[in-house]
Amino acid sequence: AEHVLSRLLDYEADEQDQRWLLLDTDHYIKDSHRRSFLQALNKARQAGVHVAINKPCFEFWLLLHLLEQDDVRLASITNADSAVELLKTLLGVYNKSNLDMARFPLSTLPQAVLTAREIDAEVAGGDIPDSNTARTYLLWEEVIRNASAAQLPVELRELKLKLIH
């Protein structure tokens, strides 16, 4: 987390830009890593950086594009490996280094955002969530809220209405 934050803070941003730190918990919240992980989060917030945590990993966020909320809850996702295996089962193939965006069309984003929001509302633990969550939705909500309807693709306009209400 410290390394990612350092690189983010080195990036020159305009005054109206927002910086977001998206992190997986994976093994970074265990043992000796936990303290430095929390320190990085605190340092990020002090620097005005928004934080979005995915537990156990970013692949959990991707699964929300493919599964209904009840199916996500029933899935046995205990770590990054199990999330990747489920993606491989659902998609036939999954390559973390070369994400096939055609498998995650923009039309699936509203479902993912709304499902992630509902799941996250039930998650305890604060900065280090007690259970699986995909807080990447916070970034997408911010993007959608700050865009005019005309700036958004058709697939996201209805989601904007839902986020406003």
What is the value of pTM for the model shown?
0.91
Which tens digit of pLDDT belongs to each residue from 7-46?
Answer: 999 988 898 899 999 999 877 777 778 888 899 999 999 9
Which tens digit of pLDDT belongs to each residue from 51-75?
Answer: 999 999 999 999 999 998 777 776 7
Burial (Cβ within 10 Å: 0-12, 13-18, ≥19) of residue 124? exposed
* CA-based torsion, 147, 150, 151, 152: positive or negative: positive
Rounded to the nearest 5°, which phi and psi values hold at 160?
A: -60, -45
Cα distance between residue 35 and residue 21, in whole Å:
17
